[in-house]
Amino acid sequence: MPNTPLPIGTLIHNRRSIFPKSYNPEKPVDKAVIEQLLENANWAPTHKRTEPWRFQVFHSEESRAALGDYLSTYYREHTAPEAFSEAKMEKTANNPRRSGAVIAIILHRDPEERIPEFEEVASVAMAVQNMWLTCTELGLGCYWSTPKSALEASEFLGLAPNEHCLGLFYIGWHDMPEIPGARNPVSEKVQWR
């Protein structure tokens, strides 16, 4: 864990997806750390201050096991026999159990629909980016997963009609070395006018 805050550019360039298979399930993620992630998420930009992000935190062993059971059952019931993999079903069940926590990312659509939905989706994504950068600063692994089972988890999560899940944010401590990043040059993506 860094002793001094890293410059924002360094955090952005060092941000990586670290998957649950690399997490140390013996090292729990404290509730205070999760609260810090959520507090930083809460400061994302939001048009008309709709603050459309909502989160459900699966932190206890029991809740993470229930999530794993839901995900693996969904996989078993919605995967064609020719595409089914016992190993994938087991991985789906175990990823939440290996994690220090899993955070369901939920879009809470403005009931008055004062702004286009894509703006609220963008706000939720920026909230997740705030969590991701915080994880990077803390040395905590994380990864945003969007399986169909999560995107269709409204009943499992007990969501309101104006809400839907945009994925799962897995977090956990890890011992992986720094992973080099790769991006094509920004000059290939910009047109100056």
Q: How many domains does the chain have?
A: 1
Residue 132 inside a domain? The answer is yes
Joined tokens for residue 180: 């080099």
Residue 109 inside a domain? The answer is yes
Answer yes or no: pTM beyond 0.75.
Answer: yes
Q: What confidence tens digit (pLDDT) does each residue in 1-46 have?
A: 445 778 899 999 999 999 999 999 999 999 999 999 999 999 999 9
Domain with 38 in it: what CATH number?
3.40.109.10
Residue 181 inside a domain? The answer is no
Residue 193 inside a domain? The answer is no
What string of DSSP letters covers 123-180?
HHHHHHHHHHHHHHHHTEEEEEE--HHHHT-HHHHT--TTEEEEEEEEEEEB-PPPPP
Dist. CA 90–CA 160, nearest whole Å: 30
Residue 12 inside a domain? The answer is no
Q: What confidence tens digit (pLDDT) does each residue in 121-167 have?
A: 999 999 999 999 999 999 999 999 999 999 999 999 999 999 999 99
Dist. CA 129–CA 69, nearest whole Å: 27
Domain ranges, residue 64: 17-176
Residue 45 inside a domain? The answer is yes
Taking CA 46 as the corner, what is the angle to CA 193 and CA 67, rounded to the nearest 5 degrees?
Answer: 115
Residue 7 inside a domain? The answer is no
What pLDDT does residue 1 have? 47
Q: What confidence tens digit (pLDDT) does each residue in 37-55 have?
A: 999 999 999 999 999 999 9
The alpha-carbon radius of gyration of the chain (Å, integer) is 18
Joined tokens for residue 161: 């009609």
Residue 182 inside a domain? The answer is no
